[in-house]
Structure 1
Amino acid sequence: MKALILAAGAGTRLFPYTLSSPKHMLPIANKPLLEYNVEQVASMGMKELGIVVGHRKEQIMGYFGDGKKWGLKITYIEQEKRMGISHAILTAEKFIGNDKFVVILGDNLFMDDLSQQMGEFLSSGAEAGIGVQKVDDGRFFGIVEMRDGKVLEIVEKPEKPASDIASVGLYFFSSPKVFGVIRKQKPSARGEIEIADTLMGLVSSGSHVKPLWIKKRWKDTGRRSELLDANRAILGDMNENRVSKDAVVTGSEIIPPCIIGEGCIISKSRIGPFVSMGNGCRVEGAKISESIICEGTEIRFSEPIKNSIIGRMCKVIKKGNSSISVNIGDHSEIIEDGL
């Protein structure tokens, strides 16, 4: 069985952070989001991984290389035109060949060990499997209707959802049959080859599409608030402070859970809870909570910073009287006049 992670999207909903970095490489608890999914593939016992790349592909390829660090052989497949999930799957047809395969959306974060879902799929004899979970508001998801352990219908982002069961970014396929279905599809109104239409094409042909329940938390990190939620979830499971041995912390309080990267210098500050701080940051006189601070950033700001994402190599230098929410991209500066 092979694995395919889709990581080609530009992440426009996460501008400005994704202007200089793929959304899949944004840090969650000081580790690229995509790395959590690469680790999932390794834990599922697979050896061959294809990563579909596009926007800022060189950063993904440079970080993961040939995959040996994770016990994997990684093949990179470029999706030159971003035309949806099924189009991305089709670009990997040569890599997949005749093997069974799993597809993971690279901007999704799964707290489950997906080995269980893989086992359920393989033992079911189904042609395809789809990860599902109950959600509060189905208008933002593909909504799944099912009966007797089989998918009957999938409706993408309906105005009036017929159920509260949503599809999540996990798909299994047992044969190359899916590629034939995709080739027959026409783009949707938004110009994409939709995965919901692909799965319904399999259902219409009489194939068994099995719902696979995701039991633990699952995060779609396509928006800033969702990225912060994912960071909070990982740190919450960690439930402790992890401060790099060579970080220098003086006259400061680190409120768990937080992770502080290598070479950070923190003085006269209160950090936490739920703060991820990348390598080489310098922080003085700051109060930071529930935020992601990327590597190489300097912060000298006297009022609280909360629910913020600050990109790489930024400067936030100001003396003020009220709190702010800071959301700026790489190499940006916020500096009070005269400093």
Structure 2
Amino acid sequence: MAAPRLYISRLLPDPVMAAARQQYQLLNEPRDAAPAHDTLAAGLCEADAAICTLTDRIDASMLAAATRLTILANYAVGYNNIDLAAASARGIVVTNTPDVLTDSTADLTWALLLAVARRVAEGDAYVRSGDWSGWAPTQMLGTDVSGKTLGIIGMGRIGQAVAQRATGFNMRVCYTSRTPRSPDWLPSQWEVRSLPDLLKEADFVSLHVPLTPDTHHLIGARQLALMKPTAFLINTSRGPVVEESALVDALLQRRLAGAGLDVFEQEPLFHPSLRELRQVVLLPHLGSATLATRVRMGMICLENIAAICAGRAAPNQVNQIEARQGLSGSTL
């Protein structure tokens, strides 16, 4: 029996690629660069299964032409890059990679938070410039983190992991969440707030929501105006959750102390003024970028595909469709 035909849109870590080659008939040798629209569409048309990434925009017309395709394994937690309704209508299973990247993203959130508070990137650039003449009492004074208030918008897995790390800094945690959380679910010392109240109270605001129509520009000019001028905004969720031009205006007018951004509204493009703002730390979407995490993400994709191939339910399915026969027998 022929192995299922697998299309992979981007080059994945070596252990994942090795497993994919062993288990499936690869339709392509993926590259680091994102595929062109036509290349992606052609790959999906030929595939029984596909691994796609958050940069791959997969719309209804693409899915309509992909008549062989049974599963789209998205190499991410979020799946706003896929027309989920269209996939469901075509009977195509869509899966994601939850849980595995929780700690790596939470760690990076804290790396950004500490970097903007203590001016780490700015200090590094200063030393490398050769202009540093030695220690001084008033040199590059930053902001304390310990004892401050951390506001978390979105108290899912990653939001909770970020909050747990705040314990070591003796921080007060307040949060807002779309899903009501009972006292049994979260530590009682974490205080639930409305979004406006959280923005007014927090010294650091960290975003951990998926990108949906409701969260697009969740943080805009009106919300930023509620924040303290001494506060910092951290975004490791999705770029369009923040209205980037409004954030730049707030930073330029000193109505916000700084920001740590791992994601941008129109990646890989970003507002040109961000480049010049020393109180901002910019990262190239590194939230899950550890070797162990990225390997595990790929293996989860392959596990989901294997389940569908065997006629079983995919462990991480995110859409609802009628049960369908797995990729077996004469269908290949």
TM-score by length of 1: 0.26
Relative contact order: is structure 1 or structure 2 higher (C-alpha 8 Å, sep ≥ 6)? 2
Of Structure 1 and Structure 2, the greater strand share is in 1
TM-score by length of 2: 0.27
